[in-house]
Amino acid sequence: MKIAMFSTKPWVHQAFDPLVASFHADITWLEPRLEPATATLAAGHEVACVFVNDQIDATVLARMKDVGVGLVALRCAGFNNVDLKAASRLGIGVVRVPAYSPYAVAEHAVGLMLCLNRRFHRAWSRVLEGNFTLDGLLGFDLRGKTVGVVGTGKIGQVVCGILNGFGCRILAYDTYPNAVLAATGVEYVDLSTLYAQSDILTLHCPLTPETRHLIDAESLDAMRNGVMIINTSRGPLIDTAAVIAALKSGKIGYLGLDVYEEEHGLFFEDHSQEVIQDDVFVRLQTFPNVLITAHQAFFTKEAVDNIAHTTMANIREYLETGTSGNRVD
């Protein structure tokens, strides 16, 4: 198993290293992100192993095919960054990790809600400076509030369970409603009802052509004034320019993001010594009611171990049988 591991970070190395011997893997650790300019670094490897911000488009796939790659192994669940048609045309298989810990992402989403509401991040820095006043830290009880969950798959369901424990009323929207979840008290409604009634809105659907800019000026208009929006799914679900306008007008009262439309090239890297060139992102950071984490919702020990193990098992299965239960078609 000759694997070119793109976007390698220390945590990737640490998670995969213990599996090298048992899977008889020969891994080349590559720090660069996969993009057209780096595609040929995969030369001589059967597998390119990639992450959420790697660019697996038709150009990259064709260049990798030319140098011997037959499989793209995603270390993540989402596959919106892969041109599946081009992969199929070129005969390159694509496998993913459909589930590694829905709890990791769900708990992070709820963490963002709690932190934004009770302003832990502001309280922490205030106390460090010896300022023990409470002005500006007033929160609200989650109990009795209405939370709208868009997408009730593996992660959305866990979010519903946690928020049930807080005593929230939960509205949900999914193209495939889940009867088992509905039996727990979650009310499936249409999107306009969900927008109109939710105090908090949390996104857990995949990025598809239909969900791109789901949150835009029109949908924001249909929401309650002061709504809290949480996005731990994929950045382009939100039209960032529309959200900035809604933050300025007060329509959005709180915004929690773990993902951002233009996060590739920004997230997962240390830019602390540079001038950040993305003015939209920098504007977002100026709002006191915006909390951004850099795509870390998945980042728990359990999730990372599961990602590494499932990725290696996917690769072995595909190389031995020509397919995999986790193949993406």
Binding residues (CB under 6 A) for ligand NAD: these are 77-78, 99, 102, 105, 150-156, 173-176, 204-208, 210-211, 232-234, 258-259, 295, 297-298
Is 167:144 a contact under the CB 8 Å cutoff? yes
Q: How far is the CB of 162 from ligand NAD (least distance, A)?
A: 14
Q: Which of 96, 119, 204, 234 is catalytic?
A: 234
Instruction: Name the residue nearer to ligand NAD (CB basis): 69 or 156.
Output: 156
With CA atoms as reference, report the closest residue to 151 among 173, 169, 182: 173
Question: What percentage of the chain's residues is helix, strand, coil (to nearest 5)?
Answer: 40, 15, 45
Instruction: Name the residue nearer to ligand NAD (CB basis): 132 or 176.
Output: 176
For this structure, is 63 an active site residue?
A: no
Instruction: Name the residue nearer to ligand NAD (CB basis): 41 or 211.
Output: 211
CA distance 295 to 1: 29
Q: How far is the CB of 303 from ligand NAD (least distance, A)?
A: 8
For this structure, is 96 an active site residue?
A: no
CA distance 318 to 154: 25
Q: Which of 33, 169, 295, 309 is catalytic?
A: 295
CA distance 152 to 147: 13
For this structure, is 212 an active site residue?
A: no
Q: How far is the CB of 182 from ligand NAD (least distance, A)?
A: 13
Instruction: Name the residue nearer to ligand NAD (CB basis): 289 or 296.
Output: 296
DSSP 257-283: ES--TT-TTTTTS--TTS----HHHHH
Q: How far is the CB of 153 from ligand NAD (least distance, A)?
A: 2
Is 79:96 a contact under the CB 8 Å cutoff? yes
- What residue number has its CB nearest to ligand NAD? 153
Q: Which of 96, 204, 263, 309 is catalytic?
A: 263
Q: What is the CA radius of gyration of the chain?
A: 21
Residues designated as active site: 234, 263, 295
